[in-house]
Amino acid sequence: MSDNTQPNSEISLLQRIRMIYEDSDAKSQLFKTKLHTVITLVSLVIVVWALFTIAQFLVTAEWQVISDKRRAFMIGRYPEEHVWRIWPTVWMFAGLAGLSSALWLRPGRRMMISLFIAAAIVSYLFLEFDSNALKFGFGLLLGLCGYALGYFTYTKVSLNALVVRIAVLGWVLLIPVILVLLFIGDAPSTNYWGGLFVNIILAAIAIVVGTPLAVVLALGRTKEGYPIIRILSTTIIEVVRGAPLIAWLFMGRFVLPFILPSWFGLNEADVIIRTMIILIVFNAAYTAEVVRGGLQAIPKGQYEAANSVGFNGWQTLRLILLPQALRAVLPSLINQYIGLFKDTTLVYLISVVDVLEVGRKAFNELAYTGTALEVLVFVGFLFWIVTWSMSNLSKKVEENLGLGTR
Amino acid sequence: MNALTNFWYRSAYKRAIIQGAAILVVVFVGLGLAGQISNLENVHAPTFTSSPPFLTFDFLNARAGIALSHGLIFDIDSNDSRMDAILNGAWNTIRLASVLIGFASIMGLLVGIGRLSDFYLIRKACTLYVEILRNIPALLQIYIWYVVIWLTTPAITNAIQIDINFFGLELLQNFIIVSNKGFAIPWLVGHDNLGVWLFIGAVALVGAILLRRYLQKRQDDVGGNQRTNRYPILILLLISLVAYILLDSPFTGQTPHIIRSGAGGAIQNYQGGMVITGEFLAIVVALGFYTASFISEIVRGSILSLPAGQAEAAKALGLSAYQRLTLIILPQALRTMIPPLGNQYINMTKNTSIAVAIGFSDVVFATRTISNNAGHSLEIFTTLLVIYLVMALFISSVMNGLNWYVQRSGI
List, for residues A25-50, the tens digit of each pLDDT value.
655 666 767 777 888 888 888 889 98
Angle at A176 between CA A173 and CA A181, to 5 degrees: 120
Q: Which of A239, A338, A380 sits opposite B140 (nearest CB)?
A: A380
Closest alpha carbon to A175 in A210, A209, A216, A198: A209
Q: Supply the pLDDT for residue B47.
A: 46
Which stretch of DSSP H or E encloses residue B148? helix B138-152
Q: Is the pLDDT of residue B53 over 60?
A: no
Q: What is the CATH number of domain B82-158+278-409?
A: 1.10.3720.10
Domain count, chain A: 2
pTM of the shown model:
0.83
Q: Is A243's CB within 8 Å of B385's CB?
A: yes
Same domain assignment for residues A37 and A91: no
Q: Is the pLDDT of residue B107 over 80?
A: yes
Q: How far is B43 from chain A (nearest CA, A)?
A: 8
Q: Which of B137, B138, B353 sits opposite A247 (nearest CB)?
A: B353
Residue A230 at interface with chain B, using a CB cutoff of 8 Å: no
Interface test with chain A among B26, B31, B44, B121, by most A beta carbons within 10 Å: B121
Report yes or no on A181 lying in a domain.
yes
Instruction: Check: CB of residue A92 under 8 Å from CB of residue A177.
Output: yes
Q: Supply the pLDDT for residue B31.
A: 83
* DSSP β-bridge partners for residue B260: B268
Number of H helices, E strands in chain A: 21, 0
Q: Supply the pLDDT for residue A125.
A: 64
Return phi, psi of residue A107, to 5°: -60, 145
Same domain assignment for residues A261 and A314: yes
Q: Rounded distance, CA A73 to CA A121, Å?
A: 14
CA dihedral for B53, A234, A343, B347, sign (positive or negative): negative
Residue A45 at interface with chain B, using a CB cutoff of 8 Å: no
Domain containing A193 equals: 65-401
Give CA B278 to chain center in angstroms: 18
Q: How far is A356 from chain B (nearest CA, A)?
A: 7
Using a CB-CB distance cutoff of 8 angstroms, which residues of chain B are in contact with residue A372? Answer: 143, 147
Residues in Cβ contact with B242 at an 8 Å cutoff, skipping those fewer than 6 apart:
none
Q: Supply the pLDDT for residue B130.
A: 92
CA neighbours within 13 Å on the CB side: how many for B215?
16
Q: Is the pLDDT of residue B72 over 90?
A: no
Instruction: Check: CB of residue A320 under 8 Å from CB of residue A302.
Output: yes
Cα end-to-end span (Å), chain A: 41
Specify the amino acid at residue B256: P
Q: How far is A379 from chain B (nearest CA, A)?
A: 8
Q: Which of A228, A338, A372 sits opposite B22 (nearest CB)?
A: A228
Q: Is the pLDDT of residue B101 over 60?
A: yes
Using a CB-CB distance cutoff of 8 angstroms, which residues of chain B are in contact with residue A250? Answer: 364, 368, 371, 377, 381
Q: How much of chain B, in percent, has pLDDT values that exceed 90?
A: 20
B108-144 in b/e burial notation, b at 16+ Cβ within 10 A? Answer: bbebbbbbeeebbbbebbbeebbeebbbbbbbbbbbb
Q: Is B147's CB within 8 Å of A229's CB?
A: no
Q: What is the DSSP letter of B172?
A: E
Using a CB-CB distance cutoff of 8 angstroms, which residues of chain B are in contact with residue A230? Answer: none
Q: Supply the pLDDT for residue B13.
A: 80
Using a CB-CB distance cutoff of 8 angstroms, which residues of chain A are in contact with residue B140? Answer: 345, 356, 376, 379-380, 383
Interface test with chain B among A245, A258, A282, by most B beta carbons within 10 Å: A258
Instruction: Check: CB of residue B351 under 8 Å from CB of residue A233.
Output: no
Q: What is the mean pLDDT of residues B295-305?
A: 91
Q: Supply the pLDDT for residue B77.
A: 67
Q: Supply the pLDDT for residue B112.
A: 94
Q: Is the pLDDT of residue B46 over 50?
A: no
Q: How far is A43 from chain B (nearest CA, A)?
A: 7
Instruction: Check: CB of residue B280 under 8 Å from CB of residue B360.
Output: yes
Q: Rounded distance, CA A178 to CA B217, Å?
A: 70
Same domain assignment for residues A23 and A169: no
How would you classify the pairing of strands B257-261 and B267-271? Answer: antiparallel
Specify the amino acid at residue B359: G
Residues in Cβ contact with A84 at an 8 Å cutoff, skipping those fewer than 6 apart:
none
Q: Is A154 exposed, middle or buried (0-12, 13-18, 19+ CB in 10 A)?
A: middle
Output B333 or A261, whichever has higher pLDDT.
B333
Q: Is B140's CB within 8 Å of A384's CB?
A: no
CA B219 to each of CA A184, B224, B236, B405: distance values in angstroms, whole numbers, following the listed order: 81, 6, 21, 21
Interface test with chain A among B139, B363, B382, by most A beta carbons within 10 Å: B139
Closest alpha carbon to B136 in B285, B286, B284: B286
Q: Is B121's CB within 8 Å of A40's CB?
A: yes
Q: Supply the pLDDT for residue B75.
A: 63
Residue A246 at interface with chain B, using a CB cutoff of 8 Å: yes
Same domain assignment for residues A284 and A164: yes
CA dihedral for B157, B163, B168, B170, sign (positive or negative): negative
> Which range (A242-256, B149-163, B209-223, B330-344) has the least confidence?
B149-163
State the count of interchain CB pairs (< 8 A) between A and B: 141
Same domain assignment for residues A338 and A224: yes
Same domain assignment for residues A30 and A155: no
Q: Supply the pLDDT for residue A210.
A: 93
pLDDT beneath 50, residues of chain A: 1-5, 7, 406
Report yes or no on A406 lying in a domain.
no
Q: Is B136's CB within 8 Å of A342's CB?
A: yes
Nearest residue of B to residue A251 by CA position?
B381
CA dihedral for B93, B95, B97, B100, sign (positive or negative): negative
Same domain assignment for residues A34 and A154: no
Q: How far is B31 from chain A (nearest CA, A)?
A: 11
Which stretch of DSSP H or E encloses residue B169? strand B169-179
Q: Is B120's CB within 8 Å of A25's CB?
A: yes
> Which range (A387-401, B276-290, B330-344, B358-372) has the least confidence?
A387-401
Q: Is A258's CB within 8 Å of B23's CB?
A: no
Q: Which of A32, A60, A88 is the last residue of a domain?
A: A60
Q: Which of B44, B48, B139 sits opposite A345 (nearest CB)?
A: B139
Using a CB-CB distance cutoff of 8 angstroms, which residues of chain B are in contact with residue A260? Answer: 36
Q: Is B37's CB within 8 Å of A29's CB?
A: no
Neighbour tally for B166: CB within 10 Å? 8
> Which range (A173-177, A265-269, B50-54, B246-250) has the least confidence?
B50-54
Tell me: the pLDDT tens digits for B130-156? 999 999 999 999 999 998 888 888 877
CA dihedral for B278, B283, B286, B289, sign (positive or negative): negative
Q: What is the DSSP letter of B399?
A: H
Q: Which of B32, B132, B381 sits opposite A255 (nearest CB)?
A: B381
Instruction: Check: CB of residue B141 under 8 Å from CB of residue A357.
Output: no
Residue A362 at interface with chain B, using a CB cutoff of 8 Å: no
Using a CB-CB distance cutoff of 8 angstroms, which residues of chain A are in contact with residue B90? Answer: none
Q: Supply the pLDDT for residue A27.
A: 59
Q: Rounded distance, CA B255 to CA B174, Å?
A: 7
Report yes or no on A182 lying in a domain.
yes
CATH number, domain at A94?
1.10.3720.10
Radius of gyration of chain B (CA): 28
Closest alpha carbon to B64 in B48, B86, B87, B80: B80
Instruction: Check: CB of residue B7 under 8 Å from CB of residue B13.
Output: yes
Q: Where in chain B are the domains?
A: 2-38, 82-158+278-409, 189-254
Residues in Cβ contact with A350 at an 8 Å cutoff, skipping those fewer than 6 apart:
A249, A250, A252, A253, A271, A274, A275
A177-187 in b/e burial notation, b at 16+ Cβ within 10 A? Answer: ebeebbeeeee
* DSSP β-bridge partners for residue B251: B190
Using a CB-CB distance cutoff of 8 angstroms, which residues of chain B are in contact with residue A338? Answer: 135
Q: Rounded distance, CA B12 to CA B209, Å?
A: 55
Q: Supply the pLDDT for residue A370.
A: 81
Residue A39 at interface with chain B, using a CB cutoff of 8 Å: yes
Specify the amino acid at residue B336: T
Q: Is B26's CB within 8 Å of A232's CB?
A: yes
- Which of A 309-348 lie inside 8 A of B, CB atoms? 338, 342-343, 345-346, 348
Instruction: Check: CB of residue A382 under 8 Å from CB of residue A225.
Output: no
Q: Supply the pLDDT for residue B371.
A: 80
Instruction: Check: CB of residue B135 under 8 Å from CB of residue A388.
Output: yes
Q: Is the pLDDT of residue B220 over 50?
A: yes
- Which of A 77-96 lie inside 8 A of B, CB atoms? none
Report yes or no on A79 lying in a domain.
yes
Q: Is A373's CB within 8 Å of B147's CB?
A: yes
Q: Is A387's CB within 8 Å of B135's CB?
A: yes
- ipTM comes to 0.83
Neighbour tally for B290: CB within 10 Å? 25
Using a CB-CB distance cutoff of 8 angstroms, which residues of chain A are in contact with residue B131? Answer: 388
Q: Is the pLDDT of residue B8 over 70?
A: no
Same domain assignment for residues A146 and A217: yes
Q: Is A30's CB within 8 Å of B33's CB?
A: no
Residue A243 at interface with chain B, using a CB cutoff of 8 Å: yes
Tell me: the pLDDT tens digits for B258-290? 777 777 766 777 777 778 888 888 999 999 999
Helices (H), A297-345: 300-308, 313-315, 322-328, 330-343
Nearest residue of B to residue A248 by CA position?
B381
Instruction: Check: CB of residue A251 under 8 Å from CB of residue A278.
Output: yes
Q: Is B33's CB within 8 Å of A259's CB?
A: yes
Closest alpha carbon to A361 in A375, A341, A346, A373: A375
Q: Is A255's CB within 8 Å of B377's CB?
A: yes
Tell me: the pLDDT tens digits for A129-160? 556 667 777 777 787 788 777 777 777 777 87
Using a CB-CB distance cutoff of 8 angstroms, which residues of chain A are in contact with residue B350? Answer: 243-245
Q: Supply the pLDDT for residue B171.
A: 63
Q: Supply the pLDDT for residue B267.
A: 72
Nearest residue of A to residue B44 by CA position?
A258
